[in-house]
Structure 1
């Protein structure tokens, strides 16, 4: 590409200078959890020139039921073969610089950032500030729908870690000195079990601490500095490899993982099923006390 490679975030001015490069793919990940058609409509009304569209429900999530028939959460990870097929459809190769964006501070774009890293693709970054930062910088949007040539991306060694519900459950009975720290990315009211509209079963995993994903951002919707993020996250745990990120359904937990990567605190795991999977089984313990925060 002839430019530096980006693997956490990229600024609007930097992305603008890269547009038109052959080894660049931009992916629009806009979505609304309350309106499944929002992203598609917003994309059709205008997007960064050349960007393809990724639908959270159809492209970045898999079947809600596992092979055993058990509920895996509201947004389980997609089947790896299906993910590869979509990435290739968007024109992505092993050497492609991928830039992902949304209009919600990166909460949806971070999901694709994590998914690409899960198959070993390091050169993927989130547009800092999203489409809002792009237009605020005076850059144009386009309505033309691209038809990229087929890509050839393949699976390589994962750059991520993940745990399943059984591992999270077993962690609760581990000796205190060996117990992994669960960090919940949901808003505080959901963490405390006070938002029945979103979480019919309220509360959190016992022992979890709360770090709302929006706390990673400045008032303008861009990420805080690496120094500030490192200082704030270091209050939650001492060793990233001993931490598990979760949220409502494995989406905003990826935002926390991106913030950790920006801060230089790599190694935390994702619990993809998150609260929606956890609370589906009434035999699993639930906490609501503020002391768990």
Structure 2
């Protein structure tokens, strides 16, 4: 039997129980003298798929989505196609998906239906699996694993399609000007500073559920620092210098109004390690939020000495006078 490598399906499993259930389903096939081994395999895979779908789309969450239709109270449980749709778009409305994200909702619905129909043929295998011959049984296993893989793959591909379209729309709604307005309120380590500009490097949709969209925005901000007053600087007693710092903004948006965006000062994290010379050669743009929060602490950090800049400036001015 040409069996699909475990990692192909296992990468979609997020919990220990899911991995264990998948392993146990495959292990059942090793008992070649057991006439029920294909039945045990089919049962195990069916329960595994049901568990993953329930994790991705809990019934209670699906039923709270504005797009879910309970047929005037006659329905109390979502269909599998509806659960699959929730896993793909959460609570985003039909109108938002179609009109704003410019995605073909009918295509998404049709593709989810096809994936569910194909999966049901195998995980709800309705023929007797008792003591079937090796050829029939092995074909069942191969087709079942392929169907499960395509099912999970369809969810991921469609989910990514929705997320990418949403990220584009959010990029338009979150301008660098908006970021700069917030950064002006952030303490930037010097007597005076000017936010000279900022850019948005990346917007990532981390999750979508029936209520919220969790989004992470990352980029860089360019700052001009000034030590001393403007008069001090004019007399040669002040220092100005420019620096660039990576920032991260964590946002939780209303799924019903995804483009209604308000950024508060507390939402933004600026990594200022380069100011203290702590960054070395690390790529700060790819730091996680936890890493940025941790390194922005005051522990074990050298105190910044602006006189170094005065000293360097005096050397430069001395060379100029000469």
TM class by shorter-chain length?
Answer: under 0.3
More helix by share: 2
* TM-score, length of structure 2 as denominator length: 0.23
Highest CA radius of gyration, 1 or 2?
A: 2
